[in-house]
Each structure stands twice: as structure tokens, then as C-alpha cells.
A and B are shown apart, each in its own frame.
Chain A
Amino acid sequence: MPLNIIICIKAVVLEAPDGKVIRTSETCALNPFDRPAIEMAIRLRDEAGGTVTAVSMGPESGSLALYEALAMGVDHVVLVSDPSLAGSDTFATSTVLSAAIRKLAPFDLLLFGTRTSDSDTGQVGPQTSVLLDIPLVTGVTAVTRKKANFIVERKIDEFIEEYEVALPGALTIHASALQPRDASLMGLETAYGQEQFTLMTLKDLDILAEQVGDNGSPTKIINMQRIQKKRKCEMIQGSVEEQAEELVRRLKEAGHIG
């Protein structure tokens, strides 16, 4: 049975900004935690046939992430972009993504990375699945087919949990699941040659302006400031043995070692 897979990806900011985040192609990149999920999507498609569609919400400057997904081997990319979406928190983002995914339905499998390297909440995958009312397994490390369903594994503490997931279902893929492939030069050239972007704006989605952006966000970032790391260097005196003993004593005292 061919699979229709949708994967949600994000262009993350590469470095912590001072103040307001300015997204350009130079400051953004595909979220590294999305790469293993893209790899999983491509492999499942290559085994079963079907298509992989990558969906991303954000300004057009973040389209670099979508091109990279295309270069890796994704079939279609959809950018959901609208000025009204600025300021969306994870809940508003999940509202938008679930609305876009409804437009792209039917689908069999919805994939996410476990989290993003910039905001690091890990909430969008689970929230979007809940809004779409489909089953979800998080932190998946292996996926195998069992007739119409999937058997998935997730590692938790000292255990491996196994779930059987009915389709359509959602998975967040753990970064350790797979080594993602490098984009080939052929892939990059083809990605930029095809211009096969589908652009969705708010009016393409069946949601209201109040549900997105600042208005639709129950959480708000009030302030953001860089953490000032206060480090000081102290030289421990004495013979090598004395220095080692003193170092161990201090590390114990500070609770860093047992």
C-alpha cells in the first residue's frame, strides 16, 4: 500500500539573537531534529511507494529549510506564510499546521522531529496530533509495517516500548533513530530548478485571524535576554596528587560527582 506521508518541518534560527529574531536565509536553517524524521519519511516512501509532503509555517526567508527537504528527496513542499501568523506560540502554530494538514488530507502518516533546536518546546507534534484527533507516539526510534498498521518502538529509560499504531497516525521521530542523508548536488540543483512550492496563506485555511499570531497564542514571550555566563578560573596549587585530591573534593562539595 503506497503511503501518503506529511512531515512538518521548521526553519530554525542558527544563533541566539540579541532581542528580536530576524529571519533571513543566512540566519535560518532546517531544524537538525527534523532531519532524521525526513530520512524516516523518505525511507518509508521508498519501501512502500507514495509521496512525502513537507509542510512548514514561517516567513518566506525560511524557505531554505524546504529547499533542503526537497534536496534530500521530499516530493512536495508547502509553505504556510502570512503576516498574521507572526508571534504565534506553539498552540497557534499547531492550530495553523493542523488546518493546513486538513487541506492536504487524506494522509496516512504525519511525522515530526521531537523538538526544535531554537525554541526547544517539543509541543508542536503532540498538539497538532491532538487537534487532528489522531493517535500519536513520541520519540520513536524504529518503525516497521504490520499489514495496515505500524509497529513503532520508543526508548524510555531502560525499556523499549512497542506500540501498534493505526493509520492515519502521528509520530515524532527521535534524533537517534536514523542517520539522515546528505543532500546531493543533484538534489540541490533539482530542488532549486523546479520551484514547486505551494504557498498557503490564512485565507486558504479554515481558521480565523483570532486563532493565530499574538491573538491566538495563550503564551507570550514577555522578554528575552542572553544568559551571562559568569565563569572564573582558579588555579589549584600543590603537587599533582594534591591538586587532584583538592579537585575531587571541590567537585563533590559542589555536587557534580558522587
Chain B
Amino acid sequence: MSFLTTKHTLVRRSVRAFCERELQPIAKELDIEARFPWDVVEKMGKLGYFGIQVPAALSGAAMDSVSYCIVIEEISRACAGLGLCVTVHNSVGVYPLVAFGTEEQKQKWVPPLAKGERIGAFCLTEPNVGSDASAVESTAIRDGDHYIVNANKVLVTNGAVADTCLMFVKTDPAAGHRGLSVIVAERGMQGFIIGDLEDLSGNRANAVSSIRLTDCRIPVSHLLGKEGMGMKIGLAALDTGRIGIAAQALGIAQAAMEEGIRYAQQRRQFGVPISRHQAVQMMIADMATKVDAARLLVYRAAAQRDSGGPFSKESAMAKLFASEIASEVADMAVQIHGGYGYTKGYPVERYYRDARITRIYEGTAEIHRIVIARSVLEEYK
């Protein structure tokens, strides 16, 4: 694959070996118990997984986007919930601080995040805010050198374990999306309240929860960029973030395909392994083709980002396609397993649940189709 160098081969091998040893054996139990594996996260932090693209001067690994995708893909192959944690932390949690933070802000927040000593979160979604970010109802009202922030954020990825949270709030509620700003809230601040864990269908190792700020006084120095830059920061973060979610979906699809193939080669019906039956071979061919196509789109989007050019369309295509084939491939893997695929005795049941959300978060499939269509129509104008 032309996007890949020998460095990428080594990155994959290294991350895969770690995840197969540390994460894969406990993935089932993390899912059942909805447990966040702090011990594994600590080891990942030391290996640079929480600062994959952060500059070395800020304690990161300073890697390219293709390497980034490989890391997320491999973590997600072992445990989707932790793949989600790592990609959201890196892309929408840390990247906006690196891209839009002042030197002082970067020095303060980025190194502990990059080392995994602190976990990042991106707090945009509210009870009445999903795809329409301009509808944010949370507010930050200036009071001297502080903002008084009142926010109700829901379905926050990493929410219950997050230390450093990018809060999307209205600093000028009358100005629509032009009044949207990003303020960094930290766990432990007075008025910073973490809600109960969501009882998720999949990705259960991730501590998704609500976060509420009640009359929380946050210094003005915590404003990221300028007032009114919220939409710009959010869109830049999500452009990057969706490549990571595409890589997560790809990792889930890869895991589902591998289990489907393995089972097909073991399970015997009519005197032969079911992989000898053409009906099963059709599914294996489709799974392999879809996974390969998704991988090409994901790495292309990453390579496009590395080249410095615009990559919104490419990342939207990668996210849309990878998330949809993840569900399709997981579905086929369940089908190959027959009744056993519908039990918790086999991991495909978990992949099936893990895959579903990738079509919803970091921009729904429908929103991505709009992004792609607009871009394509522009090209053919």
C-alpha cells in the first residue's frame, strides 16, 4: 500500500503486540463490567499513545497521521472502547490545544495530556444540541477576569475520567454560532460535576457520562483562541477527529472479519468446514473487500492531512464508509457464527454492538453525506 513505509509496519507490529498482550485478553470483561482499564491506560501513556501527534517539545511522539490511524486501528481491533478513548483524547481533546492554544496554555495543559497523566474530553453535545452546534445553550458570562460558566453537556466520551475538558459555550448568546467559544474546564473546579456513566450498548470500556458546570468560575486565561472562535475550533477538531473514528471503525471491522474467518474455518457442517461452502465464501469475500476499501480511504485521508492540503472531503468519505462497513462486516461475522454469534460467548456479538455507534458520533453518516455532497458539487460547479 503506497501510503505505508517500513516505519508504519513497525508501528503496527509494536502496537498490535502491546494490545494483544495487555488489552485483548481483558476486552470481554471490560465490556461486561463497563470498566475503564486505568492500568493499561497508564502503560499506554508511557508509550506515547496519548500524544501521538503532539510535538516532541510538548512531550508527544510527533508522528504522522497515517501512523496515528494505525495506532487507533490496532487499539480498536483489541478493544473499541479504548480505541475511542485514545482517538477522542488525541484528536478533539488535545489537538485543538496544540493548534489554537497560546504558548502558555500549551505548556500548561498539553504535556500531562500527551503523557496520559490527564485525560481530555470534547464537550459539545447537549440535550438539545447534536448535529446543530450553533444551538449550544451553555453559557459563559464574563465577570472581571473570570467567566461564570453554566453548562449541561451529555454523552461526553471519556466524560467520567476526563481531567481537561474543552467546553463549547456561548459567550454571546445573542450572536448565534458567532457567539460560540471554547473554554477549558478542569476536573476539581468548584461547580464541575460529573454525571453518572451512560449504560452504553457498545464501547462499554469508555466512561461516557454527562458533565455539568454550575456557576463555575473559570479564569479568562482558559479561553481557547478568541471569543466567537468556537465554531472554527470545533470544525477543525472534528475534521481531524473523524479520521480517528474512521480508523476505530476500521479496527472493529478488521477484528470482526478475523473472527468470522477463523470461525468459518473451524465450524463444520455437512462434513466440511463451513468456509468450503460458497454461501460463506461470498461473505468472506465481501468482508475482505470492504475492509480493504475502507483501509485505503482511511489512509488516504490521513496521507492527505499529512500533505498539508485540505482533507475535509477525504476524511468525511473515510469516516462514512468505514463506519458503514464496520456494521456490515460485524453483521456478516455474526451471520457466519450462526446462533453462537448472538451470544456473549463469542466476541462478534460485542463487535456488532461496538460498530453501531461509529455511524452516529463525530458527525452522523447523514451529516457526512452532506459534507461530501457539498464538496463534490463545488468541484463540478
Contact B11 A26 (CB under 8 A): no
Which residues on A sit within 8 Å (CB–CB) of B373? none
Which residues on B sit within 8 Å (CB–CB) of A71? 10, 14
A67 to B56, CA, bound (A): 19
A182 to B52, CA, bound (A): 16
Closest to B14 in A: A183
Contact A185 B67 (CB under 8 A): yes
B41-49, B148-156, B194-202, B287-295 - interface stretch: B41-49
Give the residue among A63, A182, A184 with the most B Cβ atoms within 10 A. Answer: A182
Closest to A72 in B: B14
Tell whether A89 is near chain B: CB-to-CB under 8 Å. Answer: no
A224 to B61, CA, bound (A): 43
Tell whether B214 is near chain A: CB-to-CB under 8 Å. Answer: no
Q: Quote the shortest CB–CB distance from B72 to chain A (angstroms).
A: 12
- Knowing A64-B6, A67-B10, A188-B10, the reply to whether A182 touches B17 (Cβ < 8 A) is yes
- Interface of chain A, helix or strand or loop or mixed? helix
- Chain A: how many interface residues by the 8 Å CB criterion? 16
Which residues on B sit within 8 Å (CB–CB) of A189? 7, 56, 61-63, 67
Tell whether B262 is near chain A: CB-to-CB under 8 Å. Answer: no
Give the residue among B9, B10, B52, B67 with the most A Cβ atoms within 10 A. Answer: B10
Closest to B114 in A: A186
Give a binary string over A40-82; 1 marks a CB under 8 Å from any B CB, 0 the rest. 0000000000000000000000011001100100000000000
Tell whether B133 is near chain A: CB-to-CB under 8 Å. Answer: no
Which residues on B sit within 8 Å (CB–CB) of A182? 14, 17-18, 47
Which residues on B sit within 8 Å (CB–CB) of A186? 48, 56, 60-62
A185 to B52, CA, bound (A): 7
Closest to A68 in B: B10
Binding site for B on A (CB under 8 A): 25-26, 29, 63-64, 67-68, 71, 182-186, 188-189, 192
Q: A64-B6, A71-B10, A184-B47 are in contact. List 9 more A-B contacts (CB 8 A).
A: A25-B6, A29-B13, A63-B6, A68-B14, A182-B47, A185-B47, A186-B56, A189-B56, A189-B67
Task: Supply 10 A–B pairs (Cβ within 8 Å), ascending by A.
Answer: A63-B6, A64-B9, A67-B6, A67-B10, A68-B14, A183-B47, A185-B11, A185-B49, A185-B61, A188-B10
Which 5 residue pairs are nearest across A and B when measured between Cβ atoms? Answer: A185-B48, A185-B61, A192-B7, A25-B6, A184-B47
